[in-house]
């Protein structure tokens, strides 16, 4: 044994627990600490390739020895989070399955075990690396023992680094720790003596004993502190000194890393929902030959001759349903080009047609066009919308789309964040394959899809379609178990796919001249704000550096900020609380807002314009938001701010490409509050909506007990904040912060609100109770969202889950309604064969681009379709507005 790595497993787990938030497995159990621990261990092994390694955990009743010396030892420590102990036990299970030796000794702290192992290793002439960030372990450092901080770029700490960091060599660390004490362990030290003073005194006296023996050499306060706290210093030294006589294994074989227990380790990862770790584990198991099939009996065929192509088309033309997958150049939907197409209609057989092979690509596409456009043949795949675009780019319309395993996976479990083919196949079949990245490489060596050897890409694509075929059978069976989910799949999401694809292909026009003028205006405003901030700060600095900004605000201007591991926090929520007392903070917030608008929209939107269509073609996602809401990317047009004048000016740049045309906006009025009324059946709230009351004025009036005409703008704003706040589980503290009132006043307002709307309160509590029993929340149409964290012992996770239990049925239903409205509107517009079209969906709003002579018929069709998409206990109201640009709408 030449070297050994000794890991502070308890330290890794605790730091991971607080560094990683809200991570759970499919059962809702916290896995944040465990995942962070495993990742840290894997990184250590990858970076250093150790042969000898040991993970050291705090043993049961580990503080026993030191408590016997000092009963108050660690007495002030807060209770261990309830969801941490079982993660520690699972970390030990991981070590066993992975082959990592571990030590967990009864009545012994991890520090003592690590020190004892390092001392034993030194006697074996081995170098020790103690992997920890605990300063107490600096007392062990010498020419044979080093500290390794893997969280700081694998920083290795030897004797020089210890002295540089703490002001004393390793031999004086015990005395230093004894003098300064440790609040977290409740080690008293010498009150009033900090690290700098302690290191100065140790340099002067040489040791703590010498200092305690001759306090008369000091004067003033220091002398008194030393004399008065001599016993505390001696006690503290006993507490911080490591016990190096712990009974540890003295056989080098014990510390050898053992072979993985692959099947059990894979099962363990699966139970923890660590899909990324399963993939990595499987790759290490697979043969290095890239073309090794996942399925031994797979029959994959490359079609690279005209006769084979004709034969395949004859076979495919006789099928009723075919699975497809396409390989394309990496580009935006309207720019992607086909590289190859995969087909399958059974579990084991698949074919791949390369468009860069021996057959002319135009000949291939011409031969395949009748097949794809035959409405009697159904096609399915995984994430079909990009396939639809790729074929459309080749002037082929995919006529009959029967299924999408990507959509099905999301509908069945929107709680999962990942629905890629690899993730879903792993979830259902516990199998993985080599990722495409291994074919195209990475970094400087990356190649395009079209450069992959055809035989390798053929295998890869055939494997994909065979995976998708199997997935479809499984997911269809699961969907069939719920009539509601089946309807969501086949009556909402699948029909919506083509509508969204066509919206993406139409795109939206942006006036670059308007953006250019806005850019000049914003840049000037930003520069003015910079100068104001520099003036208030008294110097220039990098405003975009949180560290420099934190230093200026905290240390120079003495503005109280929250301390972080890297400096001082300058997050928006902290600065917002300081704006009234410190004007510079408001200037900083304004600067950030404008800078974000400039970089995210004003400067970048022109780069998103397609040079051929002169329009922006964003992508709408059906499988991102767990509530079922559509999201938007490349660029995200749903997120353009509307509350600021600058944000509204950005919307002004979006206008019809034809100057004679107009925009029409159709927006559901307060749809989520109407859904609260519907679900809660609160008679007062229902009556208000049925009487077409201004709901915020009405709420302010009944909560405050005043006539509606006495409700001021400010009171209406407060009522509005409560109306919408309850949907998101807002409590008195959050409301007080938003309205800039004290917490008691906010609590009183909420209490009075629920007194006036008692059924709303009952509905909120019922939603939480139902989720606790079923583990899910359900929309009006039956869309489900699993919420396993609802019964978590972690209070933060549980509170978040309760908010989801309340909000999901409301947001999910609103999402379903706008999707149903899009389908109904599209159907009616198609019947009329109008020139106008739908171009954008922003949450509860639809935007249309149309000629002015179609305004009346569009207004009638859109309003009727949206308002009558479903019958609630309150009316659905749609506001129609027109404008020559988006801002005017």
Count of Cβ atoms closer than 10 Å to residue 868 Cβ: 13
Half-sphere exposure of 371 (CA within 13 A, CB side): 24
- Is the domain of 112 the same as that of 211? yes
Residue 293: per-residue pLDDT: 47
Which of 561, 582, 608 terminates a domain? The answer is 608
Which of 438, 462, 481 terminates a domain? The answer is 481
Is pLDDT at 271 greater than 70 in this prediction? yes
Which whole number is the average pLDDT over 29-52? 94
Residue 225: per-residue pLDDT: 87
Is pLDDT at 502 greater than 60 in this prediction? yes
Q: Which residues make Cβ contacts (< 8 Å) with residue 406, sequence separation at least 6?
A: 382, 383, 384, 419, 421, 424, 623
**What are the pLDDT digits (tens) for 287-325?**
433 334 455 578 999 999 999 999 999 999 999 999 999
Q: How many structural domains are present in the chain?
A: 4
Residue 290: per-residue pLDDT: 38
DSSP letter, residue 247: -
List the one residue out of 611, 634, 614, 606 whose CA is nearest residue 386: 634
Q: Which residue has the higher pLDDT, 97 or 727?
A: 97
Q: Tokens 């150049």 label which residue?
A: 329
CA atoms 654, 656, 661, 666: torsion sign = negative
CA atoms 787, 791, 793, 796: torsion sign = positive
Strands 102-103 and 53-56: parallel
- Is the domain of 233 the same as that of 90? yes
Tell me whether residue 571 is in a domain.
Answer: yes
- Is the domain of 440 the same as that of 368? yes
**What are the pLDDT digits (tens) for 524-536?**
999 999 999 999 9
Q: Do residues 192 and 183 touch, judged by C-beta distance below 8 A?
A: no
Query: Could you tell me what percent of the chain has a pLDDT over 90?
Result: 75
Which whole number is the average pLDDT over 208-230? 86
Lowest mean pLDDT among 284-298, 393-407, 421-435: 284-298
Task: Please state the length of the chain.
Answer: 889
- Is the domain of 352 the same as that of 305? yes
Which of 209, 236, 255 terminates a domain? The answer is 255
Q: Do residues 170 and 142 touch, judged by C-beta distance below 8 A?
A: yes
C-alpha 322/C-alpha 387 separation (Å) is 14
565: confidence class by pLDDT, cuts 50, 70, 90: low
The per-residue pLDDT of the chain, averaged, comes to 92
Which whole number is the average pLDDT over 834-841? 96
Strands 321-328 and 127-131: unpaired
Tell me whether residue 284 is in a domain.
Answer: no
Q: Do residues 844 and 818 touch, judged by C-beta distance below 8 A?
A: yes
Q: Do residues 767 and 805 touch, judged by C-beta distance below 8 A?
A: yes
SS3 80: coil
Which whole number is the average pLDDT over 752-775? 95
Is pLDDT at 559 greater than 70 in this prediction? yes
CA atoms 785, 790, 793, 796: torsion sign = positive
The span from the first CA to the last CA of the chain, in angstroms, equals 74
- Is the domain of 83 the same as that of 229? yes
SS3 344: strand
Residue 221: per-residue pLDDT: 83
CATH code (residue 221) = 3.40.50.1010
Burial per residue of 244-278, b for 16 or more beta-carbon CB atoms within 10 angstroms, e otherwise? eebebeeeeeebbbeebeeeebbebbbebbbbebb
Q: Which residue has the higher pLDDT, 727 or 699?
A: 699
**Containing domain of residue 116, as a range?**
3-255
Tell me whether residue 622 is in a domain.
Answer: no
Q: How far is CA 780 from CA 220, 484, 676, in A?
A: 76, 10, 12
Q: At 202, list the tokens.
A: 């140790």
93: confidence class by pLDDT, cuts 50, 70, 90: very high
**What are the pLDDT digits (tens) for 620-668?**
999 999 999 999 999 999 988 888 888 899 999 999 999 999 999 999 9
Secondary element (H or E) of residue 284: helix 275-285
Tell me whether residue 194 is in a domain.
Answer: yes
Q: Do residues 826 and 803 touch, judged by C-beta distance below 8 A?
A: no
**What are the pLDDT digits (tens) for 661-701?**
999 999 999 999 999 999 999 999 999 999 999 999 999 99
Burial per residue of 812-833, b for 16 or more beta-carbon CB atoms within 10 angstroms, e otherwise? bbbbbbbbbbbbbbbebbeeee
Which whole number is the average pLDDT over 587-591? 95
610: confidence class by pLDDT, cuts 50, 70, 90: very high
Q: Do residues 478 and 409 touch, judged by C-beta distance below 8 A?
A: no
418: confidence class by pLDDT, cuts 50, 70, 90: confident
- Is the domain of 223 the same as that of 352? no
Residue 544: per-residue pLDDT: 92
Q: At 181, list the tokens.
A: 């004490």
**What are the pLDDT digits (tens) for 445-480?**
888 899 999 999 999 999 999 999 999 999 999 999
Q: Do residues 189 and 233 touch, judged by C-beta distance below 8 A?
A: yes
- Is the domain of 675 the same as that of 755? yes
- Is the domain of 473 the same as that of 526? no
CA dihedral 679, 683, 686, 688 (to 10 degrees): -150
Chain center to CA of 219: 57
Q: Do residues 648 and 829 touch, judged by C-beta distance below 8 A?
A: no
Q: Do residues 407 and 388 touch, judged by C-beta distance below 8 A?
A: no
Tell me whether residue 724 is in a domain.
Answer: yes
CATH code (residue 523) = 1.20.1060.10
Residue 795: per-residue pLDDT: 87
- Is the domain of 237 the same as that of 351? no
Tell me whether residue 282 is in a domain.
Answer: no
Residue 650: per-residue pLDDT: 93
Strands 401-404 and 321-328: unpaired
Residue 858: per-residue pLDDT: 97
What's 510-543 look like in SS3? ECHHHHHHHHHHHHHHHHHHHHHHHHHHCCCCCC
Which whole number is the average pLDDT over 9-37? 92
Q: Do residues 530 and 543 touch, judged by C-beta distance below 8 A?
A: yes
Is pLDDT at 428 greater than 80 in this prediction? yes
- Is the domain of 455 the same as that of 540? no
SS3 881: strand
Is pLDDT at 156 greater than 80 in this prediction? yes
CATH code (residue 682) = 1.10.150.20
Tell me whether residue 826 is in a domain.
Answer: no
Residue 731: per-residue pLDDT: 86
Tell me whether residue 827 is in a domain.
Answer: no
- Is the domain of 462 the same as that of 336? yes
- Is the domain of 177 the same as that of 92? yes
């Amino acid at each position: 044994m030449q070297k050994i790595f000794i890991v502070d497993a308890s330290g890794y787990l605790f730091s991971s627990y607080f560094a990683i938030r809200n991570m759970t497995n499919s059962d809702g159990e916290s896995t944040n600490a465990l995942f962070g621990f495993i990742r840290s261990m894997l990184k250590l092994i990858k970076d250093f390739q150790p042969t000898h390694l040991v993970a050291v955990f705090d043993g049961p009743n580990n503080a026993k020895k030191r408590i016997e010396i000092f009963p108050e030892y660690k007495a002030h420590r807060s209770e261990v989070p309830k969801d941490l102990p079982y993660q520690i036990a699972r970390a030990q299970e991981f070590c066993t399955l992975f082959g990592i030796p571990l030590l967990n000794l009864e009545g012994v702290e991890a520090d003592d075990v690590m020190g004892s192992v390092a001392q034993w290793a030194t006697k074996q002439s081995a170098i020790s690396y103690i992997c920890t960030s605990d300063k107490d372990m600096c007392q062990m450092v010498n020419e044979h023992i080093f500290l390794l901080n893997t969280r700081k770029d694998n920083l290795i700490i030897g004797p020089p680094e210890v002295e540089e960091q703490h002001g004393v060599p390793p031999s004086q660390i015990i005395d230093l720790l004894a003098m300064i004490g440790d609040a977290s362990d409740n080690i008293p030290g010498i009150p009033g003596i900090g690290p700098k003073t302690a290191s100065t005194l140790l340099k002067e006296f040489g040791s703590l004993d010498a200092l305690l023996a001759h306090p008369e050499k000091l004067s003033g306060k220091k002398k008194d502190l030393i004399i008065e706290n001599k016993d505390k210093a001696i006690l503290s030294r006993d507490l911080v000194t490591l016990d190096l006589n712990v009974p540890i294994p003295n056989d080098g074989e014990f510390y050898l890393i053992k072979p993985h227990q692959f099947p059990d380790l894979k099962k363990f990862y699966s139970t923890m929902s660590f899909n990324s770790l399963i993939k990595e584990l499987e790759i290490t198991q697979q043969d290095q030959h890239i073309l090794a099939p996942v399925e031994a009996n797979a029959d994959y065929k490359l079609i690279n001759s005209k006769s084979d192509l004709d034969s395949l088309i004859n076979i495919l033309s006789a099928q009723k349903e075919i699975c497809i997958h396409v390989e394309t150049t990496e580009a935006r939907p309207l720019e992607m080009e086909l590289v190859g197409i995969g087909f399958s209609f059974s579990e084991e057989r698949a074919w791949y047609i390369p468009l860069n092979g021996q057959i002319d690509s135009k000949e291939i596409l011409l031969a395949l066009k009748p097949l794809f456009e035959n409405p009697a043949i159904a096609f399915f795949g995984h994430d079909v919308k990009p396939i639809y675009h790729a074929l459309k780019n080749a002037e082929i319309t995919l006529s009959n789309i029967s299924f999408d395993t990507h959509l099905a996976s999301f509908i069945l479990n929107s709680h999962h964040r990942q629905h890629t083919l690899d993730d879903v196949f792993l979830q259902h079949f516990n199998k993985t394959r080599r990722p495409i990245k291994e074919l195209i490489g990475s970094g400087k060596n990356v190649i395009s899809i079209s450069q992959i050897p055809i035989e390798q890409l053929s295998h890869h694509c055939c494997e994909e379609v065979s995976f998708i075929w199997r997935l479809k059978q499984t997911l269809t069976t699961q969907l069939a178990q719920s009539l509601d989910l089946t309807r969501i799949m086949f009556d909402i999401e699948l029909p919506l796919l083509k509508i969204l694809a066509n919206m993406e292909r139409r795109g939206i026009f942006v006036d670059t001249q308007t953006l250019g003028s806005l850019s000049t205006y914003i840049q000037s405003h930003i520069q003015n704000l910079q100068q104001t901030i520099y003036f208030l700060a008294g110097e220039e600095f990098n405003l975009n550096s949180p560290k420099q900004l934190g230093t200026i605000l905290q240390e120079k201007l003495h503005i109280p900020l929250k301390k972080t591991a890297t400096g001082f926090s300058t997050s928006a929520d902290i600065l917002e609380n300081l704006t009234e007392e410190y004007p510079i903070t408001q200037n900083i917030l304004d600067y950030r807002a404008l800078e974000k608008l400039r970089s995210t929209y004003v400067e970048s939107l022109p780069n998103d314009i397609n040079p051929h269509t002169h329009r922006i073609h964003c992508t709408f996602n059906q499988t991102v938001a767990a509530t079922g809401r559509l999201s938007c990317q490349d660029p995200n047009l749903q997120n353009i701010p509307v509350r600021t004048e600058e944000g509204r000016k950005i919307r002004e740049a979006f206008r019809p490409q034809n100057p004679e045309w107009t925009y029409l906006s159709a927006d559901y009025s307060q749809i989520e509050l109407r859904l609260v009324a519907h679900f809660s059946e609160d008679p007062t709230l229902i009556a208000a909506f049925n009487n077409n009351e201004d709901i915020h004025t009405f709420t302010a009036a009944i909560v405050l007990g005043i006539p509606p005409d006495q409700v001021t703008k400010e009171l209406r704003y407060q009522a509005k904040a409560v109306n919408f706040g309850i949907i998101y589980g807002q409590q008195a503290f959050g409301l007080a912060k938003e309205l800039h009132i004290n917490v008691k006043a906010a609590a009183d307002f909420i209490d009075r609100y629920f007194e006036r709307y008692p059924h709303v309160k009952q509905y909120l509590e019922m939603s939480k109770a139902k989720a606790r029993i079923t583990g899910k929340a359900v929309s009006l149409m039956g869309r489900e969202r699993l919420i396993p964290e609802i019964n978590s012992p972690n209070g933060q996770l549980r509170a978040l889950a309760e908010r989801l239990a309340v909000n999901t049925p409301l947001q999910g239903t609103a999402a379903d309604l706008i999707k149903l409205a899009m389908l109904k509107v599209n159907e009616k517009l198609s019947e009329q064969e109008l020139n106008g079209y739908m171009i954008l969906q922003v949450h509860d709003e639809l935007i249309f681009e149309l000629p002015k002579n179609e305004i009346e018929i569009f207004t009638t069709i859109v309003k009727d379709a949206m308002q009558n998409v479903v019958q609630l206990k309150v009316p659905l109201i749609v506001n129609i507005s027109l404008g020559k640009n988006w801002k005017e709408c």
